[in-house]
């Protein structure tokens, strides 16, 4: 059973997560031939102060 863990900045709307999960599930199902019910997708919301790019927190770059 494929398990997909997606880390995403906190604050994305549920509708966006639903669409991402649907697309990821569809792609894996199409490539592997597995039923969609066998594919798990989990989102981990990460707060901006805990997300770093290039050694700098995303929270600081938002200001």
- The DSSP string of 27-50 is HHHHHH---GGG-EEEEEEE-GGG
pLDDT of residue 62: 57
Pairing of strands 52-53, 40-46: unpaired
Angle of CA points 54, 55, 60, to nearest 5°: 95
| Domains of the chain: residue spans and CATH | 3-62 (3.30.429.10)
Task: Choose, from 2, 13, 35, 49, the residue flagged as catalytic.
Answer: 2
2 is catalytic: yes
Q: Are 4 and 39 in contact (CB under 8 A)?
A: yes
Is pLDDT of 63 > 80? no
Q: What percent of the chain has pLDDT over 70?
A: 95
- The Cα–Cα gap between 53 and 15 comes to 25
């Amino acid at each position: 059973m494929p398990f997909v863990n997606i880390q995403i900045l906190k604050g994305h709307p549920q509708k966006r997560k639903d669409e991402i999960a649907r697309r990821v599930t569809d792609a894996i199902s199409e490539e592997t031939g597995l039923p969609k019910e066998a594919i798990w997708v989990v989102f981990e919301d990460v707060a901006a102060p805990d997300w770093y790019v290039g050694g700098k927190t995303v929270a600081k770059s938002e200001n």
